[in-house]
Structures are given as structure tokens and as C-alpha cells.
Amino acid sequence: MNPFEMVVLIVAIVMIAGVVKSRHGFGHGSRRRGRDVEDGAGLETLRLRDEVKQLKERLHVLERITTERESSLSREIEELRDR
């Protein structure tokens, strides 16, 4: 076997092994661990949704403050300080 053929054979074996690993989930250690990663992603999604909700509430307060008259602006700032 010539060296070029050996290199091609090694590359082909590595590629086939990579495809088999990705299809059967061996790349993550086990199928159980793959589910844990998905659960972690779900928790992260919930955390991000909660953060977006909080940011929307803050934005709503800021929009309300900026659209009201100046006299109510100082009152609103004092109410926010009391929180």
C-alpha cells in the first residue's frame, strides 16, 4: 500500500467514525448526558424569559415616566426610591 492510499484510508475511517458518533450520541458521553444538556438549555430559556419579562416591566415604567408631566416625574422617582 502506498503512503497516499494509507492517508486516504485513515481520513475515511476518521470521517466514518465521526458520523457514527454523531448519529448515535456517543459524542456527549452518553444519551443520559445529552438529555441533561437539553434540560440545562430549557432552564436557560426559562431564565432568559424571566429576564426579558423584567426588562419589559422596567421599560414600561420608564416610558410612563417620560410621557407624564414634570410634576409627576419627581413623584414617580420618589416612589421608585421607596421600593
| SS3 labels along the chain | CCHHHHHHHHHHHHHHHHHHHHHHCHHHCCHHHHHHHHHHHHHHHHHHHHHHHHHHHHHHHHHHHHHCCHHHHHHHHHHHHHC
> What pLDDT was estimated at residue 37?
54
Q: Determine the angle formed by the axes of helices 70-82 and 31-67, rounding to 10 degrees.
A: 140
> What pLDDT was estimated at residue 14?
92
Tens-of-pLDDT digits for all 83 residues of the chain? 788 888 899 999 999 998 888 887 765 554 445 555 566 788 899 999 999 999 999 999 888 877 766 667 777 788 888 87
Q: What are the domain boundaries of the chain?
A: 3-82
> What pLDDT was estimated at residue 35?
54
